[in-house]
Structure formats: structure tokens, C-alpha cells
Chains A and B, each alone.
Chain A
Amino acid sequence: MTALIALFWRDLRRAWGSGALWLPVVFFLLVATAFPFAVGPDAPLLARTGGGMMWVAALLAALLPIDRLVRPDREAGVLDQLAVRGFADEAVAAVKIAAHAIGFGLPLLVALLPAAALLAQDATRVQTLATGLAVAIPALASLAVLSAALTANLKGGSAIGGLLVLPLAVPMLIFGAGMLDPSGRGAMKLLGAASLLLTVIGPFAAGAALRGLRE
């Protein structure tokens, strides 16, 4: 367990130290900044559409750093060294998912505040967005690590990886955005269910992909 904690802190340090953390957050804020320019300064329109736009931006932001999640460790031999020490690939994947969820998830929630202000979201919608994103972040991290593991051997893998896992994230997008609809009462539960499913499956799927990298 001590070793896995050491691995978790290492991944978190590398995410925060290498700039991998800031890339998705900056992307998220840039989308929130650019969107009003595209649709015009119509506050009611922004308020109505901005929430959904933030969900799309958060989803894409989670997938942005996938090139840095697995490939560097594979090339540096770190994954081999962990396997030699008997760590299950699923455990390594779970640690990477946890580190990515914390590494990009927390700053994303902080960035939500200025983004919401730019998109004319009121306090209730900000609260709903924050709750939905907090529920979805482990699943988004899970998908990102799965995608990174699947494409670590491929040149230009991050683009392919995004295409691979984007369909899997669509239910969360639908239910997350659905939470913003006053009539969408069950959306929160469905989002939770979708997130739980992806978060539980993620380490096993990503672990199998990590194992495949060695063959």
C-alpha cells in the first residue's frame, strides 16, 4: 500500500509539475471565454446554453492530457519496473485514475467559478454544475487513463484515444447536462450510475490495456 501511495504522489507531482494540469484547465477557461464571442452577448441565451457547453468543455479537457498519462511511463520503463515488483496492472491503473481525477478534477472545479461567471450562470446552476462535475470526474479520469493505455503504443495516439472513448462518455454528457433542466430530476441518479459504472470498470479495462503494452 505504501508503494501505491508513493506512486500516487509521484503521478500527482508530475501532473502539477509538468504543466499537464494546467492544459485542461486553461482549455476549459478558453472555451468559456470564447463561447460568448461566438453566440453574442445575449445573457439569457448564454445562461440557457452555457451549462451544456461547460459539460462538453470539461469532457474534452479530461481527455486532453492523455498523451502524458501512460506513454512517458511506458517509454521510461516505469511500468515494467512496477510489473516486475508484482504490482497488478489494475492497481497501477487505479492509482493513475485517482491521481488524474485529483490532478485535473480539483482545479477544474475551481475553474468552474470564473467559467460560470463568463457564461452568465446563476448560483443554482453553478451548484448543480459543480455537483454534476464532481460526480463525473472519477469516470472522466477513468476514461482518460483507459484511452491513454490503449493508445500508448500508437503515434498520434491522443487523437485516436479521444475518438475511442468519447462515445463512452456521451451518457454522462446527457445526464450531466440533463441535471440543469428543472424537469430532469432523475438525471443526477443516472449520472451517478453511469459514473460509478465507468469508474469501477476503468481500472480493469485500463489494467488489461497496460498488460497488452508489454506483449
Chain B
Amino acid sequence: MTELLRLDGVACIRGDRLVFEGLSLALGRGEALWLRGPNGAGKSSLIRLAAGLLRPAAGTVTRRERIALIDEAAALDTELPLRKALDFWARVDTVDGPAVTRAMDDMALASLAEVPVSMLSTGQRKRAAMARVIASCAPIWLLDEPANGMDDAAQARLVAGIAKHRANGGAVLLASHFALGISDLAEIDMGAFV
């Protein structure tokens, strides 16, 4: 199985605090890995390490494909209608308009296309951020608490989106307090690396 993402013996230090060390993982096509653990265990830090936003204090991070990231910020221009805000990232990712349309349909956002991002609820913004990830067509998804603020229906769409991505050969690294009911999910207990 082709490895898309690999972390070897990585350590993370934030400020003066050692968050975790000696952590290794590999993620291949069609695989998903759930990072679980209490608050402060380093789930978000590991996601940022994998994304290249933080440098590991030790170890190596190898990415073999493009990455799409969800974290606490939606990264959508709040003054724009949702569709235009997503279109900006589609231009950055050099994907076509239909990819955005499909992603919005997957996350049930078509009816909100003309609504300014500033008017969206927390859950709707999370769905919009997920649509940005889907539209990017990036093979590696790094999802940091993607279900925060989502209702049951939106969570079901998120799970379906993850399943579809894996079926298409994508990989998912998921940091979450719960497994979202995703089947066939490997897991890492972040508490074991502190």
C-alpha cells in the first residue's frame, strides 16, 4: 500500500513543555487514523506537525501528496458569499468550479451559496470548511475536530465524505474526542506519548 504520510519518532515542544515524543505513524491510501486523547494531549499539535505548520523537535515528517487541513479557523473570507469564498480556494488549488459545486452538495450547502460567510452558524462554517477540504481534491486530509458544532445530519455527511475519500484512495488523519462512528478506523492514544 502506498504511503502518503509518514511520521518517524517525532517529538513536539510548545513553549518549554514537551507535548509528546517518540511518536511514529504511517498513513497509506484508503486508510484513516484517529488521534484520541484528553485535552492538551497534543492532538492538534500533531495535526499541525503533519501539515508542516510546526517543526518537530525531533524525528521526521514525510508527505508524499498534497494536504487539506481543517482546524479551528474556517479560513473563509467572511464578507463574501459562501460560494465565492470557496471559489477563492478553488482558484488557489487550481481545481474547477464543478468540484466546488460537488463539495457543496456533499455537505448540503447549496442553499447557502449566496449567504455571506459572516452570517453562517458555527456548524455551517464547519460544513463549509469541510467543503473546502473536499473541493481541494488533496489526497491527504488532516481533520482537527471537524465535527465541532455539527448536528447529527452534518456529522453523517462528514462521515460519508470521509468514507468516499478513502474509497477514492485518500487518507485521513482525524483528531477528535470521539470516533464519529467511522468503521475500520485505526487509532493512536496520544496520552501514551507524553
Q: Which residues of A contact B64 (CB under 8 A)?
A: none
Q: CB distance A76 to B75 under 8 Å?
A: yes
Cα distance A2–B71 in the bound complex, in angstroms: 25
In the complex, chain A residues 1-26 whose Cβ is within 8 Å of any chain B Cβ: 2-3, 6-7, 10, 14, 17-18
Tell me if B193 is interfacial: C-beta within 8 Å of chain A: no
A75-B73, A77-B75, A80-B71 known; A2 vs B51 contact (CB < 8 Å):
no
Q: CB distance A76 to B76 under 8 Å?
A: yes
Q: CB distance B52 to A78 under 8 Å?
A: no
Tell me if B66 is interfacial: C-beta within 8 Å of chain A: yes
From B76, which residue of chain A is reached at the shortest CB distance?
A: A76
Cα distance A214–B67 in the bound complex, in angstroms: 17
Q: Which residues of B contact A78 (CB under 8 A)?
A: 75
Tell me if B121 is interfacial: C-beta within 8 Å of chain A: no
Interface size classification for chain A: 20 to 34
In the complex, chain B residues 152-177 whose Cβ is within 8 Å of any chain A Cβ: none
Tell me if B189 is interfacial: C-beta within 8 Å of chain A: no
Contact for A80 among B53, B55, B78, B79, CB less than 8 A? B53
A contacts with B: majority SS = helix
Q: CB distance A81 to B75 under 8 Å?
A: yes
In the complex, chain B residues 73-90 whose Cβ is within 8 Å of any chain A Cβ: 73-79, 88-89
Q: Which residues of B contact A2 (CB under 8 A)?
A: 91, 94
Q: CB distance B75 to A17 under 8 Å?
A: no
A3-B91, A17-B79, A81-B69 known; A214 vs B53 contact (CB < 8 Å):
yes
Contact for B78 among A3, A6, A76, A84, CB less than 8 A? A76
Q: CB distance B54 to A84 under 8 Å?
A: no
Contact for B67 among A75, A82, A84, CB less than 8 A? A84
- Smallest beta-carbon distance B117→chain A, Å: 10
- Smallest beta-carbon distance B17→chain A, Å: 14
Q: A80-B51, A85-B93 are in contact. List 17 more A-B contacts (CB 8 A).
A: A6-B91, A6-B92, A10-B88, A17-B79, A18-B79, A76-B75, A76-B76, A76-B77, A77-B72, A77-B73, A77-B74, A77-B75, A80-B75, A83-B51, A84-B51, A85-B92, A86-B66
Q: Which B residues lie at the A interface, using CB under 8 A?
A: 48, 51-55, 66-69, 71-79, 88-89, 91-94
Q: Which A residues lie at the B interface, using CB under 8 A?
A: 2-3, 6-7, 10, 14, 17-18, 75-78, 80-86, 214-215
